[in-house]
Chains A and B, each alone.
Chain A
Amino acid sequence: MEKDFVEMLNTHRGIIYKVCNLYCYNEEAKKDLFQEIVMQLWKAYPSFRNEALNTSWMYRIGLNTAISNLRKETKKPDRKTITVEEFQIPDISFDTDEEEKLGMLKLAIEKISEIEKAIILLYLEEKTYDEIAEIIGISNSNVGVRLNRIKQKLEKIIKSITL
């Protein structure tokens, strides 16, 4: 079972990295969240029998963990982060023009709410409205309305950054 789990985790590890990058702003917090998401995925894995798409399931658990983790942040006890040397979460850097744009997008996303972050992440991942609705747990029409609002909000923020 764990071989399949590791294989699935490796195939879609980008999902966890993206969630960590969107919800955490420093290396320690990212690693902490990464650890928490993997743990939650591992715990939920026995009950997961390809009932949903791998990616949808991973997004759902990843986003739920990220959001609930943030809510618990203030009362969280001291904890050590992963010390395994070879482990590194790839960061959003600003080397090329495209990456500079990405940095700008990240800066804008930082300014929106946690739920909005989840919706925009799924939109950027080109998930359908149905998939977003299933992962977030809102109605299909609600996704459209919310997404439009978030897009407008983000464009406003981006404009203010570029000015």
Chain B
Amino acid sequence: MNLEELKSAWQVFDRKLQVSKAINEKLILSMIRERSNSRVSRLKRDNTLLMLLMFLEFTFLVAVFVGNPFDFKFLWQYVPFLFISIGNLMAIVMLFKVYKILKTDINDVNLRFFLQNLIETFKKNKKAEGWFGIIMFVSGCLTVFSFFPNKLATKSLSMAVIDTLIPLAISGIIYWIAYKMGAFKNQKEMAFKKDLTELENLQLELQEN
């Protein structure tokens, strides 16, 4: 049996497909819905993981304040950690707000309403996200100085300064790489906006026809 002989069988399949059920507009709408749904489930997972991470970080910070594992002698040494705690709490609040919306089953509500609501929340969070970024950057850089008195106790001034500047430079480079890689851009909002425009155009045309 060669390929040419089998080619005729392909026509049988083709005929079978031609009599298959037609696809309707409802299906196309449902596909846009499904696609948003998959993005939402991805967002839900990311959100839960971030919340978990933030809670863990918060526990660590509480332990720093209570147990003083770094042997801080001055109260100012705790300031960067206080900043981190504030940023941490802000992130938890923001993530919780998004979580409340994501908890809604996309199949139970109007898709347009759902997308609008989500985009609105992203917009509201934008300002807080900016502050969160600044707080984390400043505290990330300042944390290095919290260890300066301890270094000064065991090293000469110049060595202590060098030992402080190296981690500071590393922190700066990490932030810069993260910025360049788009870590501070909210691409999720853009994707949902695209879905919403697509859906609105489709619905508008369905009404016109």
CB-defined interface of A62-105 with B at 8 Å, one 1/0 digit per residue?
00000000000000011111111011101010001011011011
The reply to whether the CB of B42 lies closer than 8 angstroms to some CB of chain A is yes
Residues of A within 8 A of B42 (CB): 77-78
Tell me if A105 and B6 are in contact (CB < 8 A). Answer: yes
Residues of A within 8 A of B205 (CB): 1-3
Among B16-24, B126-134, B167-175, the one that faces the other chain is: B16-24
Among A9-17, A49-57, A128-136, the one that faces the other chain is: A9-17
A10-B23, A90-B16 are known contacts. Are A98 and B1 too (CB-CB below 8 A)? no
State how many angstroms separate the Cβ of B13 from the closest Cβ of chain A: 5
Within 8 A of A (CB), among B167-197: none
Residues of B within 8 A of A86 (CB): 21, 27
Tell me if B9 and A162 are in contact (CB < 8 A). Answer: no
State how many angstroms separate the Cβ of A8 from the closest Cβ of chain B: 11
Tell me if A2 and B202 are in contact (CB < 8 A). Answer: yes
Tell me if B209 and A17 are in contact (CB < 8 A). Answer: no
Q: Which residue in chain B gives the minimum CB-CB distance to A121?
A: B10
Q: Which residue in chain A gives the minimum CB-CB distance to B27?
A: A84
Q: Bin the interface of chain A by size.
A: 35 or more
Sample (17) of A-B pairs whose CB atoms are under 8 Å apart:
A6-B23, A35-B31, A38-B31, A42-B198, A78-B45, A80-B41, A86-B21, A86-B27, A90-B17, A92-B13, A98-B12, A99-B9, A101-B1, A155-B2, A155-B3, A158-B1, A158-B6
Residue ranges of A at the interface with B (Cβ–Cβ < 8 Å)? 1-3, 5-6, 9-10, 13-14, 17-18, 35, 38-39, 42-43, 77-84, 86-88, 90, 92, 96, 98-99, 101-102, 104-105, 124, 151, 154-155, 158-159, 162
Residue ranges of B at the interface with A (Cβ–Cβ < 8 Å)? 1-3, 5-10, 12-14, 16-18, 20-28, 30-32, 34-35, 37-38, 41-42, 45, 198, 202, 205-206, 209
